[in-house]
Chains A and B, each alone.
Chain A
Amino acid sequence: MDPTVLFTAEIAVMGAASVVPLFLPWEARWPFTTIAAWTAFGLALPLAVMQPEAGLAHGVLCLDPLSDVMVGVTAALYAVSATASRYSLPMMKRFFLPDRLYWGLLSAFALTITLAATSVDVGYAWMWLEASTIVSAALILVEGEKACIEGAWRYLIVASTGLSIGLLSVVVAIKAAGTSDLLSLAFKDPTVASAVAGLALVGFGTKVGLFPMHAWLPDAHGTAPAPVSAMLSGALLPAALVVYVRVMSACVSSGAHSVVPVTVTVGALTTLVAALLMTVQRNIKRTFAYSSMDVMGVATAGFGASVYDPGLVGPLMALIAVHALGKAGLFYTAGVLHRYHGIKRLDDVRGLGRSAPGLALGAVLGALAVTGAPPFATFPAEVRTLTDLATHEPAQAVLLGVGMTVAFFALNFKVVRMVVGDGGPEAPRGAQALVGTVGSAALGLSLYLLTTWKPIP
């Protein structure tokens, strides 16, 4: 089937699902959004699997292998997050925004991420990322706790300010290159290309959660409803990274080679800082948020290293896909514990393996997936990134290696402590089945990618 038709249909479904729930009675909102989300996933899946030829551009949208993976990842998270919202929204006690907005905003969030990752024009990619900030902040604001309001505030102010610097890079690019079309972006002067890449790294890097622009990330992830945290972590951060990678590639092609070690260094430092923060963090969702920061650091360093080894892009996209499902399993576990038992701290959870085996399965598989344990597809991506960097940027390789090791032990140790022991909290069977399935899907996807999938050229 024509990829353009599939993609257009997916966008139409997401668009309709952003509006229709506003006019539905409350009991119909969840079924409608869930059906729409799974339909969107059904339309997006062939795109991600087929991997149409690179450079297939249609007007303002670009369906290349990079964006196809992002379309698939976003649709998958949208589908499972809409499903998981059944166990999240009804348990909220205080609302800041009317709860009927939640369903439309969830669909609009998926729509803005999809459009940001597929925009062929960096200016419009920027606009969709900024729109996603508004929508996701509104999703955090649905709940009326004071922490949610403050978290949303910091997210809005920090992410928007950071993205303003990204906009400055777009403006300079338009002036210097005469276009903002990513497929034809080229600079005559390497100095200008370096400046554009540097501004883009700071601007879009803020949205990725890169050190030292990551201040919003733990607050937003920590206070958002769990399904929203999963989408923020698994879809929004990589979508912003994809936009940066496209700008970086154009700049490197124009002779801005100095941007590669800078990107790799920022990525490695992000992983190291996130890993260290993870070791001392006690809040469950904030720990998982730092884990997202850690993985984005690895991916950023990896995309920097892909300039030396273009074959690394495929494994990195696999890392992004598997991380999305693994992290969803972790956040849904945290969400169920918070909503049904009021548990927010790691020290308050023991014995999940006996009391709620589905949650335990999802959490353990999720933690192993996101920390790059074999046989998950994150493992070859991390190993290849490290080996490439050891050859070309050895100092950054050491930083990254230390960060990855600390993150592996920190997260898995904390999750294992939640699982073992007795007297753990119970959870609804439906929620357990969902979390267990999502964690298992990360494993299944890894096995598929490692055995069958043709890597991105």
Chain B
Amino acid sequence: MTVQEIASLFGVVAVISSFMVLAEDYIRRAVVWSAVESFFLAGFMGVYAWASRSLETAALAALTLVVRGVIVPEILVKDIKRERVWEHRELTATSRRAVVWGLVVSLVAVVAMRPLEVKVGRVLSLPVIMLTVSMLTIILRENAIAQLVGYVGVENSVLYAGVSLGVKTPLLLEVGALMDVIGAVLLGVILSAEKRYGPLEVEELVG
């Protein structure tokens, strides 16, 4: 098995994990799948960093593993344990419907990205599938924790695309750090809002 194949395997498992996030009816399991996704993506980046001797990519892999693979899921799981309402099944987003939507948007994404993939000579379909599936998670879910998990998927997919394309610039690491700051802000909003108003449900937004 070559290094390229090992990296690709990690990437494919990360994409499958993003599908599991989308298909999961229970918030707690969705958080766990999100951690799995980040773990395998960090593995992909780590292998790539080792093969290309890129310090920035290694740092990005470490950031992915520590922040999105451990810290964020850990905080969310603790919050879920405290607030039992999150463990209830979400009736508005059944797994069957979500998976069908996921497959449709993935197919569209692959077809749409194919010409670009040919021109740049790199595999872009997998990150784009992860991006669309994660965006679908945000759209189909109505509670804030599930949407945050979707946001983590979006962040992972963009960094996945950057590393897949072989972009060698410190910009990617800076971007990763900045997106983690946004994730931290989102997490802070969830935790603070819960203390004051209870679980944050975006469907209640009216105007």
A interface residues (Cβ-Cβ under 8 A, vs B): 96, 123-124, 126-127, 130-131, 133-134, 137-138, 141, 144, 146-147, 149-154, 156-157, 160-161, 164-165, 167-168, 170-172, 174-176, 180, 189, 191-192, 195, 218-219, 222, 283, 286
Q: Distance in Å from the Cβ of A308 to the closest Cβ of chain B?
A: 26
What string of 1s and 0s marks CB contacts (under 8 Å) between B161-189 and chain A? 11001110101101100110110011001
| A150-B202, A172-B116 known; A160 vs B179 contact (CB < 8 Å) | yes
Main secondary structure of the interface of A (DSSP, over half): helix
Q: Which of B120, B138, B174, B179 contacts A176 (CB 8 A)?
A: B120
Q: Would you mind naming 27 contact pairs between A and B with Cβ atoms under 8 Å apart?
A: A127-B175, A134-B185, A146-B193, A147-B205, A149-B193, A149-B200, A150-B200, A150-B202, A151-B205, A153-B186, A153-B189, A160-B182, A161-B138, A164-B157, A170-B171, A172-B124, A172-B161, A174-B167, A174-B169, A174-B171, A175-B120, A175-B166, A176-B119, A191-B116, A195-B115, A283-B207, A286-B207
B144 contacts A by Cβ under 8 Å: yes
Other A-B pairs beyond A149-B197, A153-B202, A161-B138, 15, CB < 8 Å: A123-B171, A126-B175, A130-B179, A134-B182, A137-B185, A144-B196, A149-B189, A157-B147, A164-B158, A171-B172, A172-B120, A172-B124, A174-B171, A180-B169, A195-B119
- On whether the beta carbons of B116 and A195 are closer than 8 Å, the reply is yes
Q: Which of A133, A160, A170 contacts B151 (CB 8 A)?
A: A160
- On whether the beta carbons of A171 and B151 are closer than 8 Å, the reply is no
B interface residues (Cβ-Cβ under 8 A, vs A): 115-116, 119-120, 122, 124, 131, 135, 138, 144, 147-148, 150-151, 154-155, 157-158, 161-162, 165-167, 169, 171-172, 174-175, 178-179, 181-182, 185-186, 189, 192-193, 196-197, 200, 202, 204-207
Pick from B122, B138, B178, B192 the residue with the most CB of A within 10 Å: B178
A167's nearest neighbour on chain B, judged by CB, is B158
- On whether the beta carbons of A175 and B165 are closer than 8 Å, the reply is yes
- On whether the beta carbons of A131 and B178 are closer than 8 Å, the reply is yes
Q: Which residues of A contact B186 (CB under 8 A)?
A: 153, 156-157
Q: Which residues of B contact A146 (CB under 8 A)?
A: 193, 197
Pick from A133, A149, A152 the residue with the most CB of B within 10 Å: A149
Q: Which of A151, A152, A168, A174 contacts B131 (CB 8 A)?
A: A168
Q: Distance in Å from the Cβ of A217 to the closest Cβ of chain B?
A: 11
Q: Which residues of B contact A137 (CB under 8 A)?
A: 185
| A137-B185, A171-B161, A175-B167 known; A219 vs B207 contact (CB < 8 Å) | yes
Q: Which residues of A contact B189 (CB under 8 A)?
A: 141, 149, 152-153, 156
Q: Distance in Å from the Cβ of A197 to the closest Cβ of chain B?
A: 12
| A160-B182, A176-B119, A176-B120 known; A153 vs B165 contact (CB < 8 Å) | no
In Å, the complex CA distance between A133 and B151 comes to 15
In Å, the complex CA distance between A241 and B169 comes to 25
Q: Which residues of A contact B196 (CB under 8 A)?
A: 96, 144
- On whether the beta carbons of B144 and A167 are closer than 8 Å, the reply is no
- On whether the beta carbons of A171 and B182 are closer than 8 Å, the reply is no
Q: Distance in Å from the Cβ of B204 to the closest Cβ of chain A?
A: 7
Q: Which of B185, B193, B204 contacts A138 (CB 8 A)?
A: B185
- On whether the beta carbons of B144 and A153 are closer than 8 Å, the reply is yes
- On whether the beta carbons of B185 and A156 are closer than 8 Å, the reply is yes
B155's nearest neighbour on chain A, judged by CB, is A164
- On whether the beta carbons of B154 and A161 are closer than 8 Å, the reply is yes
- On whether the beta carbons of B131 and A153 are closer than 8 Å, the reply is no
In Å, the complex CA distance between A143 and B185 comes to 16
In Å, the complex CA distance between A175 and B171 comes to 13
| A149-B197, A175-B166 known; A219 vs B205 contact (CB < 8 Å) | yes
In Å, the complex CA distance between A48 and B200 comes to 44
Q: Distance in Å from the Cβ of B34 to the closest Cβ of chain A?
A: 15
Q: Distance in Å from the Cβ of B4 to the closest Cβ of chain A?
A: 18
| A175-B165, A176-B119 known; A153 vs B207 contact (CB < 8 Å) | no
Q: Distance in Å from the Cβ of A147 to the closest Cβ of chain B?
A: 7
Q: Which residues of B contact A171 (CB under 8 A)?
A: 158, 161-162, 165, 167, 172
Report, nearest first, the 9 A-B pairs whose CB atoms are least far apart: A175-B165, A195-B116, A123-B171, A171-B162, A150-B205, A164-B158, A164-B154, A149-B193, A192-B119
